[in-house]
Structure 1
Amino acid sequence: MEKIIRVAIYARVSTDEQAEHGYSIDAQLDTLRNYCALYNKPIIGEYVDRGVSGKSTKGRYELQRLLKDAEDGLFDEVIVWKINRMARKNIDLLQIVDLLDKNNIAFRSFSENFETETPMGRFALQMMGAVGELERNTIVDNVKMGHKQRAKTGSHNGKVPLGYRVVKGSADGRGRNTEVVIVEDEAMLVRKIFELYASGKGLKYIANALNRDGYTTKTKGPFSTCSIRDLLDNPMFIGKIRYNQYENWSEKRRKGKSANPILVDGLHSAIIDQNLWDKVRLLRQKKSSMPKKRFEGEYLLTGIIRCPECGAAMTASRTVNKMKDGSKVTRMYYSCSSFRSKGSSVCHANSIRKVEAEQTVMNRVQNVLIKPQLLKAIVKGVNERKIGRIKPLEKELSGVKVRIAKLEENKRKYLSLYEMDQIDRDLFSERLDGINGDLDDELTRKSRLELELRGDEAEPVSYELVRSLMERFDGLLRESPFEQRKTLLHLIVKKITLDDKRMVKDVELSFNSETEKHFLSAAPSADNIAEGAFPLSGKAPQLSGRFTLIL
């Protein structure tokens, strides 16, 4: 008897592709449904990501749901209209297909007409994936080339800094030009920042002064030392256009600094005169050559301990006090990062001694191990919160489904009116675009909620499992060197909160299958641990989901 092949359909369209012929969700689904009907392949599920780019797997809730269902063995084959619907990057595509292959699931592309069940099919996948990535990179390069050409002619690309805004200019044969003009109220603030720095004031002083006086950044947030620095280093304020300072910013960030940035005279007016700019540049260069502050000591909790006043991460700080006998004593603390970068008008230091904070965290972990009743109460609370969290999510999901049904009904009504010539074509198109946009938003929300509920519907976590994980976590904290302890803390400690007396209030731990697998389970060569491996022997109970403990 011929085996019945269960199929999962995956479709995706980005916001930019919505209007392109042949890229609509409905067209993709109709084509793939007809294919499955022709070959008598039952469709187990349809996974649709609407308005989502394929350049990464983040935010693609339906893809994540598909991969989870693949691991549960719900289907035998995944089919897409084109390879680039699954992923734009070859590395993402290969990782997805590798996961499917490990679960004995074939991957098939309708348009490219191949499957991954054969060596030639897998080879074709790699080649087509590479071609798809080349196509995307070529488009990106063409766009960059256009931006570079605009920059070379003195035109600005993208957002403008404080002091400027973009307005529509006159129309030409290819579209509408834009013009960068000065916003005088903001320009006065920019001049004030440059003048303060030129007078010898530091970045933190300027940020604090502006925040105290109620000024905000272009995005209506408080000023920080970083935002002040970026303003002072932006040559746009002297009428220049700088472009390509960083390459591939979305992935490399500041590590992608370009060796040949473009710097030309712009078409816009300057806000800062050349003399003031030169003076600030001289001060900036002088201060950049000064030695940076260096803090002695190993700070375990930077980034995960939170300010009790504003919630920002706390960073390393220290004070050096002179004693009566002339000796100096260094005291180390964790202090609010917002205070350190934005000043006292945004927050305060709220410092906590380093030794006290770290010792309290270690004691909290050990305390629940020597008091089984305390740990049992915490586990009971976790399971009760899990149940309590599910109900609101289910209620929200129910509301989303009602809105989806209503939008689909409205869509059918407008289609009926259009077919009966009872509505103007332009009005019909406008209304339909609005409904489709709202429908895409609600369907994306539905996918996210279903994915969240799936994670929370796991079996109640057992006391034995939690105790085993906590024992291993505690053992590693006591036995590992500093770098490994810090890595482990940042992986498992979600956040540490302080009370209004600047004492540790809660230590929130988050365990999941990845941390358990890679850090809290026995290493493959536990008897002969390689340098750098976490020193752990034995085997912990298997963890299937994720759960949070508050100590």
Structure 2
Amino acid sequence: MRKVTKIQGNESVAAKKNKLRVAAYARVSTDNVKQLVSLDVQKHHYETYIKANSDWDFVGIYYDEGISGTKKDNRAELQRLIKDCEDRKIDFIITKSVSRFARNTTDCLELVRKLTNIGVFIYFEKENINTQYMDSELMLSILSSLAENESISISENSKWAIKRRFKDGTYKISYPPYGYDCVDGSIVVNQKQAEVVKRIFTDALSGKGTERIAQELNSDGVPTKKGGQWRANTIRGILQNEKYTGDLLMQKTYTDETFTRRRNKGELDQYFIENHHEAIISHTDFEAANEAIKQRGKEKGVKKDCSKYLNRYPLSTKVICGECGSTFKRRIHSSKRNKYIAWCCSKHISNIEKCSMIYIREDRIHEAFILMMNKLIYSYKVMLRPLLQSLKSTDYAVNINQAQAIESKIEENAEQLKVLVNLMTKGYLEPALFNSQKNELIEEAKNLKEKKDMLYRSINGEVNRVTELEQLIKYVSKTDTILEFDEDRFEQFVDKIIAFSPTEIGFELKCGITLRERMKR
């Protein structure tokens, strides 16, 4: 009698073949910190949501940062998602809403039809629409039209209101330029910053260029409005801003019908108000300073907005004194035999008693950079990859959940304040009680915002470190020995240089690590 052995089929393989390959698409329309953290929350949600379904295989998350949804061509990740669908890598897509996917009816329907024709369907969470079960495109067409019209309506209403305020002179500048503060809707001179503005105009009138003015302000430790470094283009913006004369020119820029921000070169009316606020600079000095800048541009053969106005040297503003924290300046040193370029601490130059750090030759810095990069090329597997693995293994879920919880509390706080105002308006609350409770809510909102911003900075800082480190590893893993200084690679990977001594410097890389190198004198 024949013996028959029954072999069980591989159920896991069969099940896997039947699983849907699912991807998610997310987008935020601005690139500020709050919105990028919102994007992180969406990514975390979709990854958890898809992996929790045993009938689905998680393909990945496609996301666009800081890009408007009004045109699909602007979104590289959306285009990559469609390409992967066409290559049969994806069966099903999940996205938050029609407005997140597309705010243009034509684009939305075109994409849905294209994907449906190749057997790929989309689930819109907010509207609870699955394109696989749609009898017609009517509902999707209505929803996408509403999303598009909402975007246009919001934009047009805002433009109309702003234009009306332009015409009647009631438009209020919410974020005045350096040298001014906004107090109860009015522009008021900030006396401390105003002195810096006067210094900038005086320096320009004395013949100094914008780059030199910026370097000297940085050397003297003068902070910008946001506490950053002064740049040549920042100085130029101040010198060309008519607000410092007390006048106000409105509608210098505008948003066109394609939702693109443009400089107004006569396409729309502009509105000019004389003596709108207190002046810091006279009209005579303003015109003379601008004429001086134009003349310097003509002499150098450079036009406005040209990149030559920016930092001319790779090391400009990047070499920091490890002793006093000042920025190094470029100098030409001469000896009996030759000339060479050196970088010197600006405080040491102005007062040798306040800082003892002496100069560092530029060619020695270049040699140290070459040596550091070659070390990374030959040992990146030991030095960089473990760090990348460690950063990637960091669980952001705790911070993301905390951010979500704080967002909810901020919304609750706003609702409570709204209720409080309504009660006061209807006469149900005494003014003293209203003011007391209102102040408590405002203080609570302030503390919540500070906590939220701290979380945003923490999350985005770590995410940026991973990106920078991946780029560095990609470069060194495919590069042979470096024999000469490469300006492009220096700009790409180095944030700044700390001069610990004339013979030792530290390269602070954009990925967050600092590597020290010794130099010859």
Q: Determine the structure 1 residue equivalent to 2:296.
A: 287
Residue 109 (structure 1) aligned with residue 116 (structure 2): no
Conserved? CA contact 1:493–1:507, under 8 Å: yes
Code of the residue aligned with 1:272 in structure 2: it is I
Code of the residue aligned with 1:319 in structure 2: it is I
Conserved? CA contact 1:109–1:115, under 8 Å: yes
Give per-residue Cα distances to partners, 1:309-338, cap 9 Å, x unaligned. Answer: 4889989x57385967xxxx66456788xx
Q: Determine the structure 1 residue equivalent to 2:250.
A: 243
Looking at structure 2, the residues matched to 233 and 242 of structure 1 have their Cα atoms a distance apart, in angstroms, of 12
Pair 1:505–1:13, CA change in 2 (3 A): closer
Deviation at 1:62, TM superposition (A): 0.8
Which secondary structure does the structure 2 equivalent of 1:290 belong to? helix
Residue 150 (structure 1) aligned with residue 165 (structure 2): yes
Q: Determine the structure 1 residue equivalent to 2:368.
A: 360
Pair 1:333–1:263, CA change in 2 (3 A): farther
Pair 1:158–1:504, CA change in 2 (3 A): same
Pair 1:448–1:104, CA change in 2 (3 A): farther
Deviation at 1:286, TM superposition (A): 1.7
TM-score w.r.t. length of structure 2? 0.52
Deviation at 1:446, TM superposition (A): 7.6
Looking at structure 2, the residues matched to 126 and 314 of structure 1 have their Cα atoms a distance apart, in angstroms, of 60
Looking at structure 1, the residues matched to 498 and 187 of structure 2 have their Cα atoms a distance apart, in angstroms, of 45
Code of the residue aligned with 1:475 in structure 2: it is D
Code of the residue aligned with 1:265 in structure 2: it is I
Looking at structure 1, the residues matched to 142 and 315 of structure 2 have their Cα atoms a distance apart, in angstroms, of 45
Superposition pairs of residues 314-393 of structure 1, within 5 angstroms: 319=332, 331-332=340-341, 352-367=360-375, 378=383, 382=387
Looking at structure 2, the residues matched to 214 and 451 of structure 1 have their Cα atoms a distance apart, in angstroms, of 27
Q: Determine the structure 1 residue equivalent to 2:6.
A: none
TM-score w.r.t. length of structure 1? 0.50
Conserved? CA contact 2:179–2:193, under 8 Å: yes
Where in structure 1 are there 5+ consecutive unaligned residues?
Answer: 16-50, 79-85, 169-177, 419-423, 511-546
User: Percent of pairs identical after alignment?
Assistant: 18
Residue 159 (structure 1) aligned with residue 175 (structure 2): yes
Which secondary structure does the structure 1 equivalent of 2:506 belong to? strand
**Of residues 467, 474, 481 in structure 1, which corresponds to 2:479?**
474
**Of residues 36, 41, 54 in structure 2, which corresponds to 1:62?**
41
Conserved? CA contact 1:108–1:114, under 8 Å: yes
Looking at structure 2, the residues matched to 290 and 495 of structure 1 have their Cα atoms a distance apart, in angstroms, of 32
Code of the residue aligned with 2:264 in structure 1: it is S
Q: Determine the structure 2 residue equivalent to 1:259.
A: 265
Q: How many residues align?
A: 417
Pair 1:203–1:132, CA change in 2 (3 A): same
Deviation at 1:235, TM superposition (A): 1.1
Pair 1:367–1:71, CA change in 2 (3 A): farther
Looking at structure 2, the residues matched to 451 and 210 of structure 1 have their Cα atoms a distance apart, in angstroms, of 29
Give per-residue Cα distances to partners, 1:489-533, cap 9 Å, x unaligned. Answer: 6556676655332544357585xxxxxxxxxxxxxxxxxxxxxxx
Deviation at 1:111, TM superposition (A): 5.7
Residue 501 (structure 1) aligned with residue 502 (structure 2): yes
Deviation larger for 127-136 or 238-247: 127-136
Q: Determine the structure 1 residue equivalent to 2:283.
A: 274
Q: Determine the structure 1 residue equivalent to 2:111.
A: none
Looking at structure 2, the residues matched to 407 and 12 of structure 1 have their Cα atoms a distance apart, in angstroms, of 24
Q: Determine the structure 2 residue equivalent to 1:180.
A: 187
Q: Determine the structure 2 residue equivalent to 1:139.
A: 154
Deviation at 1:291, TM superposition (A): 0.5
Code of the residue aligned with 1:307 in structure 2: it is I
Code of the residue aligned with 1:364 in structure 2: it is M
Where in structure 2 are there 5+ consecutive unaligned residues?
Answer: 1-14, 60-66, 94-121, 421-427, 517-521
Code of the residue aligned with 2:367 in structure 1: it is Q
Deviation at 1:61, TM superposition (A): 1.6
Conserved? CA contact 2:179–2:189, under 8 Å: yes
